[in-house]
Structure 1
Amino acid sequence: MRLTLIMGVVNLIFFVGIIIGLIFLFSLICRALLKYIKSTDIRQEKSKTRVSLGEALKQHRTKCKMTQEFVAEAIGVSRQAVSKWESGASDPSTSNLIALAKLFGISAEELLKEVE
């Protein structure tokens, strides 16, 4: 009888431990989801920045009456790379950004100031 009671208490403690562990895991998942939901504005802002950089590059290119092919050849990249930068699919490297700014006749700082 005494052994059965002890085994019952041990099983109850084990079961309570599992329940507490599951509750803790659930709370961690909830916190992670809340953090992800709250970061929506930041993620949207970052994507807008990329689009804005692409738009700025395209505006300068068209203002200077240059084609994507001309820009690509002038800085030594493919036309597809220039297209990806302008569409926001990717960003130019720092050296390419500096080369683009020089090609457009502005400083890299001026080009980046337009991006917000």
Structure 2
Amino acid sequence: MHFSFSTTLFAILIVIVNLALLAGLIYLLVLAVRALRIYIHSKETRQQKEAVRRTLGEVIKAHRQRCQMTQEFVAESLGVSRQAVSKWEMGTSEPSTSNLMALAQLFGVTAEELLREVAGETENE
């Protein structure tokens, strides 16, 4: 009887330790998710995203002006509103991938060239 009681007690102790370890891992996972959310929504991260959008907008506007096109013409060519083109140029929104490819074609460049300009790269690099 003594042997059976100690075995049962040992099994219960192992279950308790395993549950404690599981609870600890879950707690660490929750902390990691919270930290990731804070990082994603941090001011610095938002500013970096805005800088990229602004730069993309500047690239789009520069190409449009180089090609002597109006926002209305670009909008009609892509089947979007003039306000959409304006928002892209101001950096308050971004064109979809298909619209970015259509813009590149309209401007006589590749989408890759547009994105290289956003990244600050040139053909000589």
TM-score of the superposed pair, with normalisation by structure 1: 0.66
Amino-acid identity (%): 67
Aligned amino acid, residue 48 of structure 1: A
| Greater relative contact order (CA < 8 Å, ≥ 6 in sequence) | 1
Match of 1:87 among 77, 87, 90: 90
Aligned amino acid, residue 68 of structure 2: K
Are positions 1:99 and 2:102 aligned together? yes
Q: Where does the alignment leave 5 or more consecutive residues of structure 2 unmatched?
A: 1-30, 120-125
- The residue number in structure 2 matching 1:112 is 115
TM-score of the superposed pair, with normalisation by structure 2: 0.62
* 1:42 Cα deviation after fit: 2.7
Are positions 1:60 and 2:63 aligned together? yes
Deviations 1:24-75 (A, max 9, x none): xxxx6xx85xx54xx4433221110000000000000000000000000111
Q: Where does the alignment leave 5 or more consecutive residues of structure 1 unmatched?
A: 1-27
Deviations 1:57-116 (A, max 9, x none): 000000000000000011111101100100011100010000000000000000011113
- The residue number in structure 2 matching 1:51 is 54
